[in-house]
Amino acid sequence: QAAGPLAGKKAIVTSGPTHEPIDPVRYIANRSSGKQGHAIARALAALGAEVTLVSGPTREPDPAGVKTVPIESARDMLAACEAALPADIVVCAAAVADWRVASAADQKMKKEAGALPPLQLTENPDILKTLSQKTDGRPALVIGFAAETEKVVEHATAKRARKGCDWILANDVSPATGTFGGDSNTIHLVTESGTEDWPAMTKTEVGKRLAARIAEHFQTGHSV
């Protein structure tokens, strides 16, 4: 039996990129490393939570003491999250592809002289929004990320309302912060009651601070 301030709480964390198939050998993807999502999953487990990590393809090792569910596409990620419900805590740290190819080919598309494949895109499901807006069995605390380069808190506050989630970790990725390609993140935590500005710290430290903040949230009685 797990010990710690989050013992008895169930958490779902999404991490990594998604891969959206074009045909059996090609896909659309992005450069997400999965470092932040995996760090959050590890930190929640360290505080005693029962964690399901739904992750796209990454180079990160599966965290010990966490149930890792590997997926590829956004639709698979949503289905795996739904299958892991009910949960008390959801943290959506994945970089989900906004679009997928409307009808992926069953066979490898052949290169034909002078002809380009007509790739019709369609919108992917928004996992954070879908889980936030559940009317039945909504997790008590749903948390998303926002990467912003300007008006960070203003944009994150608008995103919080648009998605219907409880907290947004706004990540200042403007060039001055060195976040892109660097190891440190500069976070502003936007909640119902305002904004907390965190100092620059590593992704591991962001995971630990978020897990501690979540534990504090449940301890101070905001459990619904």
Q: How many helices (H) and strands (E) does the chain have?
A: 5, 14
- Among the candidate windows 3-11, 93-101, 110-118, 183-191, which touches ligand C5P by CB under 6 A? 93-101
User: Any binding-site annotation on 106?
Assistant: no
In the complex, least distance from residue 94 CB atom to ligand C5P, rounded to whole angstroms: 5
- Given candidates 92, 173, 206, 215, which one binds ligand C5P under the rule CB under 6 A? 92
| Total Cβ atoms within 10 A of residue 7 | 12
Query: Closest CB to ligand C5P among 99 and 218?
Result: 99
Contact between 11 and ligand C5P by CB under 6 A: the answer reads no
Contact between 51 and ligand C5P by CB under 6 A: the answer reads no
Question: Strands, E, within 16-130: which ranges?
Answer: 20-23, 26-28, 50-55, 67-70, 89-92, 99-101, 121-123
Contact between 89 and ligand C5P by CB under 6 A: the answer reads no
In the complex, least distance from residue 74 CB atom to ligand C5P, rounded to whole angstroms: 6
Q: Is 137 left (phi over 0), alpha (psi -120 to 50) or beta?
A: left
Contact between 74 and ligand C5P by CB under 6 A: the answer reads yes
For 131, residues 6+ apart whose C-beta sits below 8 A from its C-beta are: 12, 81, 90, 92, 138, 139, 142
User: Any binding-site annotation on 125?
Assistant: yes
Spatial separation of the C-alpha atoms in residues 128 and 158, rounded to whole Å: 14
Judge contact between 63 and 41, C-beta under 8 A: yes
- Given candidates 84, 144, 179, 190, which one binds ligand C5P under the rule CB under 6 A? 144
Contact between 54 and ligand C5P by CB under 6 A: the answer reads no
- Among the candidate windows 58-66, 87-95, 101-109, 188-196, which touches ligand C5P by CB under 6 A? 87-95
For 122, residues 6+ apart whose C-beta sits below 8 A from its C-beta are: 99, 100, 101, 102
Judge contact between 29 and 17, C-beta under 8 A: yes
**Taking CB under 6 A as the criterion, which residues in 96-135 touch ligand C5P?**
96, 124, 126-128
| Total Cβ atoms within 10 A of residue 138 | 17
* 30 part of the active site: yes
User: Any binding-site annotation on 163?
Assistant: yes
Q: Which residues bind ligand C5P (CB under 6 A)?
A: 14, 74, 92-94, 96, 124, 126-128, 144-146
Residues involved in catalysis:
30
Binding residues for CTP: 98, 108, 125-128, 145, 159, 163
